[in-house]
């Protein structure tokens, strides 16, 4: 099985190939639209100079022709001679000399192949051009042109390849380094560790990816902390009713079981005193009632934990008439001695009904528990973009520095942890988990004049 290629290697090869292709395209465009037109114009000017030199030499007096030849060779690197260079064979020339052949054919009217001749260490190219009533051989050295297009192309390709490879490696590492850090951080999370948050820098996509990962890492960290807190809180809160149940069982063992008064065979001296049977039965009934209360308390705690766990479940939304829905909810929590008032304009929203009922229900339970003698209101405020439902009370409220801590599981303002005065301390934690799962926001705010306003924004 072939091992997959790394992302850095793939990006390096792709970027290098892209750079080389861009360089070839640039070289082609430069050659077609700049170098080739300039070379043709240069070849045409050189062909004109060669024909003009031959004609000028033919028109000069014989005694001045030698001086003209020296001046032409010194200033223009062109040589003249009377003998014919022969017939040029079809051998390869540098590209510029093919352009020169075309220019000479255009100006002289006769196409000919330049004749190459080695003179010492130099290579000369000769053309047989008309001069007066005859012809004259005009030659130029290959060094006069000086252009080396193939060498230039090779150097450009090799240099471009080296530069493209270096830039490709740098870009690939720049792109893959954050991904490598992300992979290492994800591996550490998978191993149960808590890695450092990733820097949210670099390109937009990588910064957004780091932001999403950091949010996930924070949530995992909070879940692990909540798990530890839940285990500690459950073990602590269940220990008290279990201790009471154990004590009740021991008392039940010690409590006498009275026999019927007229039980046959019972010695008369063992007859209980008047009213003893009633007292034993009352003690036994009280212990059984205490056991039932402890079981109810434990069942309520377990139910709260299940509600907290269900907070992560998603529920399909249903369009609700919030006026009617809040009125029904207020009726369920109202008592003959104390009614929950509703203030809500006509409003319809698509919301998950069970999650919303658990969240608002928990806020109502907190308000009714902590403000037993004060009015409680259900308020709804809505516009085109947002809807928020509030539970408002006139209880003692929560100190501002304690508001965030109140969302932690088992955190309570009452240090005694008496269920009768404060519950298990899971109500607000359940509300926050429901809000996170449904992309809501829950806020606690002190009310002017005293009390607390708990808002659920949707």
**Residue ranges of the chain that CATH labels 3.30.565.10:** 314-458
Say which CATH topology domain 197-257+275-310 has: Helix Hairpins (1.10.287)
Intervals of CATH 3.30.450.300 along the chain: 7-152
Residue 166 and residue 19 in contact, taking contact as beta carbons nearer than 8 Å: no
pTM assigned to the model: 0.45
- The CATH fold assigned to 314-458 is Heat Shock Protein 90 (3.30.565)
Q: Where in the chain is the domain with CATH 1.10.287?
A: 197-257+275-310
* 400, HSE (Cβ side, Cα atoms, 13 Å): 4
Lowest mean pLDDT among 17-31, 198-212, 268-282, 417-431: 268-282
Contact between 409 and 426 under an 8 Å Cβ cutoff? The reply is: yes
**Which of 109-113, 128-132, 370-374 comes out lowest in average pLDDT?**
370-374
> Do 346 and 361 form a contact (C-beta atoms < 8 A)?
no
Q: Is 323 exposed, middle or buried (0-12, 13-18, 19+ CB in 10 A)?
A: middle
| Pair of tokens at residue 5 | 């290629």
> 397: exposed, middle or buried (C-beta count within 10 Å: 0-12, 13-18, 19+)?
buried
Q: pLDDT band for position 272 (50/70/90)? A: very low
Nearest CA among 330, 372, 379, 326 for reference residue 351 = 326
Is 129 a residue whose pLDDT tops 80?
Answer: yes
Could you tell me the fold of the domain covering 7-152? Beta-Lactamase (3.30.450)
- The pLDDT value recorded for residue 269 is 42
For the residues 22-45, what does the mean pLDDT come to?
Answer: 84
Could you report the per-residue pLDDT of 224-268, keeping only the tens digit for each?
666 666 565 666 566 667 777 777 777 776 766 555 555 555 444
Phi, psi of 429 (to 5 degrees): -65, -40
Instruction: Tell whether the model's pLDDT for residue 307 goes beyond 60.
Output: no
The tens digit of pLDDT for each residue in 9-29 reads: 777 777 777 777 887 888 788
* pLDDT reported for residue 378: 92
- Residue 392 — pLDDT band, cuts 50, 70, 90? very high
């Amino acid at each position: 099985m072939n091992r997959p290629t790394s992302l850095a290697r793939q990006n390096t090869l792709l970027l290098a190939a892209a750079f080389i292709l861009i360089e070839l395209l640039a070289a082609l465009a430069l050659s077609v639209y700049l170098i080739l037109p300039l070379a043709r114009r240069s070849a045409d000017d050189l062909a004109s100079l060669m024909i003009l030199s031959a004609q000028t030499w033919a028109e000069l007096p014989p005694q001045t022709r030698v001086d003209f030849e020296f001046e032409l060779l010194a200033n223009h690197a062109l040589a003249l001679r009377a003998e014919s260079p022969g017939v040029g064979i079809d051998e390869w020339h540098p590209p510029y000399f093919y352009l020169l052949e075309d220019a000479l054919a255009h100006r002289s009217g006769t196409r000919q192949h330049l004749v190459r001749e080695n003179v010492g260490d130099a290579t000369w190219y000769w053309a047989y051009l008309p001069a007066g009533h005859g012809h004259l051989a005009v030659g130029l050295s290959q060094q006069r042109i000086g252009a080396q297009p193939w060498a230039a192309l090779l150097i450009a390709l090799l240099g471009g390849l080296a530069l493209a490879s270096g830039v490709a490696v740098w870009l690939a590492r720049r792109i893959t380094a954050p991904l490598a850090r992300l992979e290492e951080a994800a591996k550490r999370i998978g191993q149960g560790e808590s890695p450092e948050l990733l820097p949210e820098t670099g390109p937009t996509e990588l910064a957004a990816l780091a932001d999403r990962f950091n949010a996930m890492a924070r949530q995992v960290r909070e879940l692990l902390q909540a798990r530890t807190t839940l285990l500690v809180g459950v073990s602590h809160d269940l220990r008290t009713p279990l201790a009471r149940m154990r004590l009740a069982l021991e008392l039940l063992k010690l409590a006498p079981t009275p026999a019927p008064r007229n039980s046959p065979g019972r010695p008369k001296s063992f007859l209980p005193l008047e009213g003893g049977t009633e007292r034993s039965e009352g003690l036994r009934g009280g212990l059984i009632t205490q056991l039932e209360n402890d079981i109810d308390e434990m069942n309520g705690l377990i139910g709260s934990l299940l509600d907290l766990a269900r907070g992560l479940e998603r529920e399909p939304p249903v369009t609700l008439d919030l006026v009617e829905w809040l009125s029904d909810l207020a009726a369920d929590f109202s008592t003959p001695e104390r009614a929950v008032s509703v203030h809500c304009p006509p409003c319809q929203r698509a919301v998950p009904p069970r999650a919303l009922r658990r969240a608002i229900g928990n806020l109502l339970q907190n308000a009714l528990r902590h403000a037993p003698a004060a009015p409680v209101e259900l308020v709804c405020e809505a516009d085109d973009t947002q809807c928020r439902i509030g539970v408002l009370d006139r209880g003692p409220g929560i100190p501002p520095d304690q508001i965030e801590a109140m969302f932690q599981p088992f955190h309570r303002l009452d240090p005694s942890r008496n269920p009768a005065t404060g519950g298990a301390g899971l109500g607000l934690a359940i509300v926050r988990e429901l809000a996170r799962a449904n992309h809501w926001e829950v806020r606690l705010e002190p009310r002017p004049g005293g009390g607390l306003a708990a808002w659920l924004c949707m």
